[in-house]
Each structure stands twice: as structure tokens, then as C-alpha cells.
Structure 1
Amino acid sequence: MKKLLILSILYLYSMILFGQGIRDSIYVIPTVDVNAKYIFDVEEAGMVKTHVDSAVMCQKIQSSLSTLLSENTPVFIKTKGKGALATASFRGTAASHTQVRWNGLNINSPMTGMVDFSLIPVFFVDAVSLEHGGSSIASQSGGLGGVVNLDNEPTWDDPFEIQYVQFVGDFHTYQEYGSLSFGTKNFQSKTRLYHNKSKNDYQFLNRQNYDYIDPNTGEFVHPVDTYKNGQYLMYGLMQEFYWRVNENNVISACYWGQNADRGIPKVISNEGPEDTNINNQIDNVSRGVIQWKHYGKSSTLEFCSGGSKKDLDYTLQNQVNGEGLICAINSKSTSYQFQNSLNYTKEFLNSLHFTGSIDYNRSWVDTHESVKMTGYKKSREQISLYASLSKSITERLNMKVQLRNEWYDRDYTKPIWFAGFDYKISDNYGLILQGNVSKNYHTPTLNDLYWQPGGNVDLQPEDGNTAELGLKGSIGNKYHSLNWSVTGYYSDIDNWIIWIPSFKGYWEPRNVKNVISKGVESQILWNRDWGNWKMKVKANYSYTRSINMEKSDVWGDESYKKQLVYIPVHSANVWFRLDYRWLNFTYQYNYFSERFTTTSNKLNERHWLYPYHMNELDCGVRFYQKNDRSAQVRFSVMNLFDEVYHSILFSPMPRRNYGVTLIFNI
């Protein structure tokens, strides 16, 4: 680690430096100023949206999207640790209920319906926004929890820029990121690269095993073990082209390819030999999207077409004497997606806004397990028609209605709809009351329907009805600004899909759950300037009750009216940053209440996850700046107070650890 750090510092003096951060487009598309007052926009009446602060994204530039969302939004991320599978629970819903879009292209797996957020580097994204609950209908169906939007944007004002980021951390972790941008006012090209690797071999106190009995106290002593087979290697490329044809037309093309080779560590309760149950997973994905935007005097026409291919190879091996490593599971899956959308918006003179779109999507999955000779090969076709009307009823009241109709393999689903309003209570305090009611559907994934063994072709779509009511406000002057919001929601979801053990000896998905998801989301963003001193504070708090309301006839089932597994009732995070000239200091705090791993929610049982508080410190020094050139070094302490915690049962997380980040801008 020391050698690499010295080489990195020496490398600084061999480079020509130029400043570049995460920037927004300044052409045609209005930028989002996170410091401004909430906008009373008729087109977003009743919609609950969150934009991740660009300063936070710069701070987390070397992190994965799982870390960014977990530490700075209401989304709960369930993960086994750095580099491991990370899935989202948005408003207490399942991982497949969070839809993720990259430049208008849905990147959820057609097999599982989920996204692994650990595979998305923040460095590859310029803007992150969330559409909560029913607001997600504007983008697509299926987001019973919400939608996460990831966007890339051109920087028309910069003819040339290079950025290089290097992170060196504990557990033999090395990360490198680089980007090159060049062009004119009418054409821009940007290339991004990254390469991450780690042995991920941290030590932990194994409370599931006992080493010996202390003769003085008579108590069991837990051994210190090493986290094994958690290593990973990831690398990727993103290429972007933007062409401003004329004042009214912009064409863009983006490609994203990456590979991840990861070991899957055993749970600490495993008592087998080390050369058994060796898990490994390789993810190889390629995505591409082309967009054309035409801006008229009072209308916009947009066409988007894209596709993706993902190969997933999973193996489980055991050591057999005289034979070596033998595969017990050897699964290879390939999925394809082809997506197209045509969107038209029109603003009329009487403050009436119309949006209409048509989407055609098709996906294919081919999966095969060569040991047990199982698998399936299926495809799915989706057609979606969408229309919305927004209108300013008075100077203080905006209303919006949305309707979406869909066909899956030519089978028509029930209409999806949204009706919302914004009411401006006060101009001085920026007080806005907003609310909405909506209906949404989530169709079963291809694995739910066809996985072998266990798929259930008789599954019904999950049916959600949601109501939301919130209040937000803004105050400020040239020295400070304060934005805040509070939203309460209530969702009633029928036909909840859950995989449960069957008498056949394997797990099967069934529509057995009715779930009530209700709660409160709140957010505060405060900015304060004192000349050379600048301070920013952002805080989130979520109260989430995701309750099973389905009575069971099975003897001993105590899940009725209990919290769903792995969903914390309380969660909070605080991000604090203080800048003084060439110095900056950042503090990150996260809290999650207890999470249950059994449906009975009994605290006296062994299998539950206790609450934890996570703290992180980051100190940065900008030690070179001339004209538009800059360079900085950051020192980070993760898990500041050496907390012992788990995000998933029997999967220990790292204790206190350190890292150094070097950022060179050319």
C-alpha cells in the first residue's frame, strides 16, 4: 500500500492538471440546482422526487452506487459487503420493486427483476434521481417502491478535460478511474474507464463459533477469523458521444461494458472444510443506447432505442480426493433486452401540458445448469402506452393525471394510473402541500415463471394501490438556504410474490402475501456560506412499516401482522461537509434499527440483526490549483468507532478501515 501511494504522488508531478467535477448539461435541458427553492412545476404536480446532491457524488466518486444510495437516500441496501451483491428495498418493498433506468434504458434483469448496485460505479454516472412510489409511473410500470434514474450528460462548455482517480484502502483494495473528454460546442466525446480489485480479506470476531473456555471467567472465547473467498476484480468502459445538430436537435449515443469476477464467501456458521462449497460468480454485461431529442417552440419529441446483453456464470465447487475440484453447480445464463420508446410533450397556452409515449420492449433469457441438466429458454414482449395531463388550475394549485396501459405477450393488464396535486401555501416560506393516489402493477419475472425447478406459470401480477401526502418548504438568502420535506405514504399490495419451501424438496414462488407498506420519509438540506467558509448538511429519516397481512392456515406460522424480513423500521443518515479554501472535512452518519430474519419477528430468537450506527470521516486537501487545474488527496476512515455489525445474517462486515483517494484533474 505504501509503495502504491508513493508512486501515485510521484505520478501527480508527471501530469498536466486540469479541474473537472461532476457537471450538468447547460444546453436546452434545465439543470437541477440542489440549493434552490423547490420548484412549483406543473409537470411534477403531486410527484415525490429526490435528486442526489452533486457534491455528495463528488465525495463518493470512488464508491459504488450501493454505497451512495445507502448513505444518502431513504433506500435501504441489503449487502454482504464491499463488492458483493447489493439489492435495494425502496419503501419496504422487495428488490424487484425498485426499477433502475440508465439514460432511459431499463437495466433490471429480466431473469430476477433486480439490479446489483455494487456493480455500478458512481464514476460512471453524472446525475442520480429517485421517483418515489406512484411517481414512478411517469417512467414505467413495476416500481411499487420507486424508480432510480441514472443519467449521463455532456459538458458543452469544456473543449478538453481529463480526470484520474486512485483509491488505495485496507484489505488489499485498489481502485482506479479515468476519463477523457474533448470536443466543440456542437460535438462532445467522453470516455470513462475503471479497474477495481480487492482481496477483501478482513478479520472479524466469529460469534458463531467458540475457540476455548476462559479458565478465569468460565466464558466461551470467540475466535478471530478471516473473511475468505470475498475477493473481486471489476473493470469497465463507458463511451459517450453527443452531437448538437442545430438549435433544435441533439443526438447522443452511449455504450457501457463491464466485467466482474467475484468470489462468494461462506457464511460464518458454516462448519465444513475450507475446500468445499467454493462459490464464484462472473458477470459480463454490455449496454448501448441512442437518443434523439427535437426541441420545438412549445413541444419536445424524443426517441430512444437501446439494448443490452448480460452473461452470468455461477459455479459451486467441492474438493474431491483424487479428482480435484468438482462442480456441484455450473449455471450459465444469457439475457438480452431490446427497448424502444417515442415520447412527445406539448405545452398549450392555457397552462396545459400533455405528454404521450409508446414503448416496445422485448427480452430473451437462456439459462442452463449443466450438472443437473435444468434450465429454460423464454422470451417476453411488452407494449406500453402512456399519457399524462398537467394543468395549473390557479396560481397556487397544480394538478396532474397519468394513465398507462400495457400488454405482456399480447395479454392486456389492468390500467395503471396516477392523480396528484401541488398546492402552494406560502410564497415567503416556499410551503407546498402535495399528494397523490395511484395504482401500479409488477409482473412476475421470468425466473418466477419458468425457473427449473420451481417456476410457477400461474403467478398473478402484484397489484399495488398507494396514497401519499406531503409538505415541503424552502427559505434562504444569499448566505444560506434551507430545504425540507416530509411525506407520508400508504401502500396496499396484493398478490405479493414470495418464494417458499414446498413439499417437493425445492422452493417455489407463490402469490401468498398481502402486504401493507406505510411510513414517513423526511429530508433536510441546509447550506451556509461565511466568505471562505462553506457548510452543507443533508439528512434523511425514514419510518417504514412493511407488514404481512395474509393469514396462514399453516400450523406454527406467526408471520401475520409482522414486519417483513430484513426491512428496518427506522433508518437515518446525515452528511455534513465543511470547506475552507483548500481544506474540506466530511462526516457521514448512518443508522438502521433491528432487522428480523424470521417472519415471526421474535427478539428472543437467535436469528435477528441488532441495530447499528455507522460513522465515517473524510478529510481532503487540495494541494495544487492553478487556473482550471487542480489536484487533491483525501484520507478516509470508514466505520470510525469500530462497530461490529451485519447487514445480512452470518455475513460479517468490515471493522474500522482506512483509505486514501487521489484525484488529478487535467
Structure 2
Amino acid sequence: MKNKYVFTGGLLLLYNFFWAQEKLIDTVRIVDKHLRDAEKTQKVITVSASDFQKNPTNLSEVLRFQTPFYIKENGRGMTSSPSFRGSTAQQTAFVWNGININSIFLGQGDINNLGLLNFDEMSVKPGGGSILYGSGAIGGSVHLNNHLTYDRAFSGNFFGEYASYNTVNSALKLAYSDEKLSVKLNASFADSQNDYEVKPKRYKHWNAQYNAKQFGLDVGYRLNDDNEIRWHSLLSNGDQHFPVFSENSNRTKYITNGFKSLLNWNFHKSEFSNQLSFAYVEDAYDYYADADGARSNGATGKTFVVKNDFTLINPEIFDISLITEYQHNSAEGYGSGIINPKRNWGNAALVLKRDFLEKFYLEAAVRKNFIENIKSPLLFSLGAKAEFSPVYTLKLNLSKNFRFPSFNDLYWEPGGNLDLKPETSYNAELNNTFNFGKLKIEVVPYYTHLHDMIQWKPVSSEVWSPVNVGNVASYGAEAYLNYQQKTGNHHISGNATYTFTRSENLDTHKSLTYVPVHRATAGIGWKHKVVDAFLQGMFTGKTFTTTDEVNFLKSSLVANAGVGATFGKHWHIGLRVNNVFDEVYQTNEYYFLPLRNYAVNLNYKF
């Protein structure tokens, strides 16, 4: 399988050496213009590559400690799924350089197999986003982006870390650019025995080793002042064992391979712009019921995307964008009951945006999906921003969103249900932003009403099947705090989040599982000349694990700390202590996360 991806990547490299993005500028960010504008009516949290290095173990750790996401994880580095604003994992969209990459089988992002250190930036957008990012963008979306720069000659960065449990994390980025051409190579490697113990609970993390490799190539070429061609690719391989509860238990594992390729041509004039995109995403998995035996089941999924985004720019009235997209999804299964399903679907969206004297902003959008054998609703969104004073800004966002059934929901045998309806939701949020110089505070109450939620339920002692189970209401509020202070050679930064969430099945009036009512994170960083340090904490309140609200995970408070020093112009050495206070905690009822553990890292820039 691996050779197949390498061969495919080589062919696509020769064929797709053309790419495009934004205007002719020396520094180009691969962030779609609509995500940039979304911050005007919704909260967008940005995590830089340097912030990744505070939690470099995996993407789950970054989301858990640096965003309001609740991450349910089957032990460190294992199968992981997100929940935000009371949503399920399938209701969070993962977006790679503007393209939705949720699995066509599970309908969710495979978090710990997506990699982390290959990306240059991550943005998290809470709230509905189906107008732009399609199926699954109900609770929120996670955007994994790569940057390219021009006219910067040669540069590079190496990050290497050795940590507890024989864990190695490393990443290498090499970049070259002149006025016309920009090329970036990035590669990452992670490996761990992951054999930790939680002695107070007599818990041993058996058979939990993992190995992950990613390789990416990004190329940009400026044809002239108005045209840029851009190509992104990412090749990945993961070998993840599933933890068992005793040394003599049967050991299983899961191998994944993936290839993503994205081609953009962006044309930009003062009066209009157009971005044409072609994407190919291939993901394959093999499951081994005996880790040393032959594969038991598996599947390969393929997605081909053609997307066009045309914008007519008129600052006197509205900027008008017409976004059209076509997708072809196909799969080939082995031993899973999924034989050879296919799906063709497309959509068209109309988006209107207008800035009024930079103090008021208004946007409105509608989208219609055309999905083979599935009836899809008309979607809409409405956003507004009003800056009443330098201190206070009000943002409003209303939207209707959806998620259509995944291939597993429809075709898994036994149990698939071809009569499933898409999940639909109505989302509303009101962002109150207060700026007091170096201190920024945001308070965001929200409400989501979900119809026709898809849930797998037992139909016999051995067979489960997905059904539409009714309505769910999720409501609550988020608070964000950011502080920056620079005095002389001292630079202090701080941030904190707090979320109150209630997600309730309206038929039973009980909470959904794995939705903590109270959750908070905080981080503070300090830098003085060549020395730096950080401290971060995470509080998670009582979390129900059963639908009758009887069983639950106890609340926990976990803290991490790190210190580092810079030597010369190129070298940085750091030491990190995770779970400083040796807290016993878990995010899944059956699996504990590690007690106090350590890591040392080296960062070299050239």
C-alpha cells in the first residue's frame, strides 16, 4: 500500500506542479479568505507552530490544553475524538488548507493520525460552518494550514524531542523561495512504547505502542502579479496498537495510510477574484485482530473534489461570492461489509459581505447541497459585527447546518441503515468583546438545536444499527481572556478559557455522554532575553459517561510546565514536565492518562 502512495504522489508531483492562492505579497498564508472573514462574526482561535511545541505529543494534547475542545481519548496517543459545544465527534469538521478531510467511513477526523508538527498553524472556529466547510461543521471546525513565503532564500527548522515511555517526536522543515518560486518540504516522525502505569488505579497501558510518519511538499509559483499556482501534498503512515487491560490479553493493531493532494489557481484583480481548486484525498486502514497475524478487515476511501470560488468585489455595495463544488466519494472494503459504495454530490453557495467604515460588518449566505440518494435541506447563515467603541464590540452569528450519513452509517454490514436522514441544526451565538489595552475579554453565549441526531443503537445482542433518534439542545457560554505585556526585556503573555455546556436529549432530558458541564484552560508564558518558561493548566468538571447520568468521570485539574534557553542565534533547548501534580485523570471511562512525565527537546533554526 505504501509503494502505491509513493508512486501516486510522484505522478501527481509531475502533473500538478501548478498552484494558486492570494495576492502578490512576500509572505503568503494558506488560510482561505472566508476563514479570515469568519473572525468578524465568530470566535477564531489560532495556535501557531511554536505553540505546538508546548504539547508536541499529538494533536489531542494541543486541542485539550490550548482550546475549549473536550477530547475523549483511549489512553495517551490512542484513538481520540473531539466534542465541542456539546456536539459529537462527527459534528466537528477537520479542514486541511481549506478542504474538509473528515473520514468518509466514520464521518470524523482521525485526530492522532492526522499528525501535528507538519503544519504551520492551526485555527479553531467554534460554532456552525456548514455553508463553507460542508458536512459535520455543526459544533465547530479545526483548520490545519501550511504557509509559503516568497523572496526569503533558504531556511530550515529541526525540532527533536525525547520523552518518557521511550517517546520520540521530531520534525524537519526546509524552505526555499525567490521572487517567483516557493518550495517547502516538511517531514515528521513520532514513535513511542507508551507503556505507562497509573499505580493508584493499578492500571497498566499494555500494547499501546504507536508509530507515525508524515511527509509533505508545498509548492507555489507566481505567474505574474495577478496569478499564482499552488500545490500542497501530504503523505502519511501510522501504526497504532490498541491498549488491552492485561499482559496476556489478545493484542490488536490498526495501520493507516493516507495521501492528500490539493491544487489551486488563484486569479486576483481589484474588481474580482477567482480561486479554482482540485483535491484528491485517499485514506486506507487495515485492522488486525491479532497484531502478529494477517489483517482482519480494512477499507480504502477516495475523494475527488473540484471547487470554484468567484468573488465580485464592490466596496460600495456587497462583495458577492459564488462558491460551487463537486465531490465524488468511493470506497473499497475488505471484511467489513462495505463492498464498493460510491456517492456523487455537489453544492452551490451564495455569500454576501460588506464592511461599513470598518466599524460595522454584515454577511449573509445560503447553500444548497445536491447529494445522491439523500434529501438535503437549504442552509443559511447570517453574521454581523458592530464596534460601538474602542472598548466594546458585538458580534452575532445565526446559521443552519447539517451532517449527512457516513459510509459506515449507510453500508456497514450487518447494521447499516440506508433510510437515515441528515442531521440538521440551528445555531446562534452572541460574541461580546471587551478591549482594555493589553487585556482582551470575550464572552460568548450560544444555543444549538439539533434535529434527527444519528446514533448507533443495539437491535439484537450482536448487531448495532444507526437511527435518527430525535432532538438535542446544546446551550451555554464561553469566556476567553488574552493578555500581552512587554516591559524592557520581559515579555509576558497569558490566556484563559472557560466553558459552561449543557447538552440535553430533549426526549429524555438527560445529558449526552462525555460533555463536561464546566471546563477551563489557562496558560502563561514568560521570556527574558535568552530564557523562557510557560505554565498551563486544564480543569475538567464532572463528565457523565452513561445516558442515565449515573456513571461519571470525576473532575480533574492537570498542569504542565516548561523552561527553555536560547544559545546563539540558532539553538534552543527545552525541558517540559507534564502533569506536574501527578493528577489521576481520564477522558474515557476505561482508560487513564499518564501521571507525571518528562520531555527534553532541541530546536535548531537555520
In 2, the alpha carbon distance for the partners of 1:25 and 1:537 equals: 33
The residue identity in structure 1 corresponding to 2:171 is: Y
Deviation at 1:344, TM superposition (A): 1.1
Deviation at 1:45, TM superposition (A): 8.1
Distance 1:101 1:475, change over 3 A: same
| Match in the other structure for 1:67 | 61
The residue identity in structure 2 corresponding to 1:510 is: V
Correspondence list, 1:121-520, <5 A: 121-205=115-199, 207=201, 224-266=202-244, 268=245, 274-317=247-290, 330-369=296-335, 374-392=337-355, 396-409=359-372, 411-426=374-389, 428-429=390-391, 431-476=392-437, 481-503=438-460, 505-520=462-477
- Of 574, 581, 590, which aligns to 1:650? 590
| Match in the other structure for 2:11 | none
**SS of 2:65's equivalent?**
helix
**SS of 1:405's equivalent?**
strand
Q: Provide Cα deviations, 1:528-569, integer angstroms capped at 9, x if missing partner.
A: 00010000001111111111112xxxxxxxxx1111111111
| Match in the other structure for 1:12 | none
The residue identity in structure 1 corresponding to 2:527 is: D
**SS of 1:122's equivalent?**
coil
Q: CA contact under 8 A between 2:45 and 2:125: conserved in structure 1?
A: no
Q: CA contact under 8 A between 2:129 and 2:401: conserved in structure 1?
A: no
Deviation at 1:63, TM superposition (A): 3.6
Q: CA contact under 8 A between 1:104 and 1:304: conserved in structure 2?
A: no
Q: Provide Cα deviations, 1:330-368, integer angstroms capped at 9, x if missing partner.
A: 111111111111001122141421111100111112222
Q: CA contact under 8 A between 2:23 and 2:268: conserved in structure 1?
A: no
Deviation at 1:238, TM superposition (A): 0.5
| Match in the other structure for 1:89 | 83
The residue identity in structure 2 corresponding to 1:340 is: V
| Match in the other structure for 1:547 | 504
Distance 1:28 1:439, change over 3 A: farther
Q: Provide Cα deviations, 1:47-104, integer angstroms capped at 9, x if missing partner.
A: 3131324375353373422221111111211112332112111211010111111112
In 2, the alpha carbon distance for the partners of 1:53 and 1:310 equals: 26
Distance 1:581 1:206, change over 3 A: closer
**SS of 1:500's equivalent?**
strand
In 2, the alpha carbon distance for the partners of 1:578 and 1:167 equals: 21
Q: Provide Cα deviations, 1:479-538, integer angstroms capped at 9, x if missing partner.
A: xx2222111111110111111111363111111131101111121111000010000001
The residue identity in structure 1 corresponding to 2:400 is: K
In 1, the alpha carbon distance for the partners of 2:563 and 2:492 equals: 14
The residue identity in structure 1 corresponding to 2:516 is: P
Deviation at 1:43, TM superposition (A): 4.9
The residue identity in structure 2 corresponding to 1:655 is: L
Distance 1:374 1:141, change over 3 A: closer
| Match in the other structure for 2:103 | 109
TM-align CA RMSD:
2.4
Larger radius of gyration between Structure 1 and Structure 2: 1
* 2:568 equivalent to 1:624: yes
* 2:522 equivalent to 1:561: no
**SS of 2:598's equivalent?**
strand
Deviation at 1:140, TM superposition (A): 2.7
In 2, the alpha carbon distance for the partners of 1:171 and 1:504 equals: 39
Equivalent pairs, count: 582
The residue identity in structure 2 corresponding to 1:277 is: N
In 2, the alpha carbon distance for the partners of 1:483 and 1:637 equals: 29
In 1, the alpha carbon distance for the partners of 2:373 and 2:556 equals: 48
Deviation at 1:588, TM superposition (A): 0.8
Distance 1:621 1:392, change over 3 A: closer
Deviation at 1:240, TM superposition (A): 0.9
- Of 466, 470, 492, which aligns to 1:535? 492
Q: CA contact under 8 A between 1:63 and 1:121: conserved in structure 2?
A: no
In 2, the alpha carbon distance for the partners of 1:614 and 1:659 equals: 16
In 1, the alpha carbon distance for the partners of 2:554 and 2:342 equals: 42
Q: CA contact under 8 A between 2:447 and 2:473: conserved in structure 1?
A: yes
The residue identity in structure 1 corresponding to 2:454 is: I
| Match in the other structure for 2:25 | 27
Moved more, 135-144 or 284-293: 135-144
Deviation at 1:468, TM superposition (A): 1.4
The residue identity in structure 2 corresponding to 1:124 is: N
Deviation at 1:177, TM superposition (A): 1.2
* 2:605 equivalent to 1:661: no
In 2, the alpha carbon distance for the partners of 1:254 and 1:32 equals: 10
In 1, the alpha carbon distance for the partners of 2:145 and 2:40 equals: 23
| Match in the other structure for 1:583 | 531
Q: Provide Cα deviations, 1:283-341, integer angstroms capped at 9, x if missing partner.
A: 111111111111111322101111111110011139xxxxxx777x8111111111111
Q: CA contact under 8 A between 2:49 and 2:117: conserved in structure 1?
A: no
In 2, the alpha carbon distance for the partners of 1:463 and 1:494 equals: 5
Distance 1:634 1:524, change over 3 A: same
In 2, the alpha carbon distance for the partners of 1:231 and 1:133 equals: 35
In 2, the alpha carbon distance for the partners of 1:386 and 1:28 equals: 31
Q: CA contact under 8 A between 1:42 and 1:392: conserved in structure 2?
A: no
Q: CA contact under 8 A between 2:405 and 2:420: conserved in structure 1?
A: yes
Deviation at 1:44, TM superposition (A): 4.2
In 1, the alpha carbon distance for the partners of 2:372 and 2:491 equals: 55
- Percent identity over the alignment is 26
Distance 1:174 1:134, change over 3 A: closer
- TM superposition score normalised by structure 1: 0.83
Distance 1:234 1:59, change over 3 A: closer
The residue identity in structure 1 corresponding to 2:403 is: H
- TM superposition score normalised by structure 2: 0.91
Deviation at 1:193, TM superposition (A): 1.0
Distance 1:332 1:45, change over 3 A: closer
Q: CA contact under 8 A between 1:25 and 1:156: conserved in structure 2?
A: no
In 2, the alpha carbon distance for the partners of 1:529 and 1:516 equals: 43
Q: Provide Cα deviations, 1:589-627, integer angstroms capped at 9, x if missing partner.
A: 11111111111112xxxx4211111100000100222xx
| Match in the other structure for 2:10 | none
**SS of 1:230's equivalent?**
coil
In 1, the alpha carbon distance for the partners of 2:308 and 2:77 equals: 36
Moved more, 94-103 or 46-55: 46-55
Q: CA contact under 8 A between 1:136 and 1:147: conserved in structure 2?
A: no
* 2:559 equivalent to 1:598: no
In 2, the alpha carbon distance for the partners of 1:259 and 1:30 equals: 29
Moved more, 650-659 or 139-148: 139-148
Distance 1:254 1:393, change over 3 A: closer
Deviation at 1:141, TM superposition (A): 4.1
Moved more, 44-53 or 374-383: 44-53
Q: CA contact under 8 A between 2:100 and 2:133: conserved in structure 1?
A: no
